[in-house]
Amino acid sequence: MGEKTITVEIDEQGNSSIDLHGFHGKGCGDVAEALRDKDTLVVDRKKREFHVTAAESRVVRNSIKG
């Protein structure tokens, strides 16, 4: 399994943003929701990885010997 990184930025006005790397599908949304807790969500931008399920992100290689 790949490395997962969470980046949190807080500006001078106290506004915060999070960026999640290495998460795929619903797992990303679950982590974001847990970090947000009861805070109000102003903007929600989902990356391409959000729409990819964990099974789709794996590469399976089969070799047939014969």
Cβ contacts of 21 within 8 Å, gap of 6 or more? 4, 5, 6, 7
pLDDT in tens, 21-57: 888 777 888 888 888 888 887 888 877 777 766 554 4
By C-alpha distance, which of 55, 49, 41, 60 is closest to 4? Answer: 49
Please report the pLDDT score of residue 64 as a whole number: 65
Rounded to 10 degrees, what is the CA torsion of 17, 23, 26, 31?
A: -50
The token pair that represents 17 in the structure block: 């943003």
Q: pTM for this structure?
A: 0.58
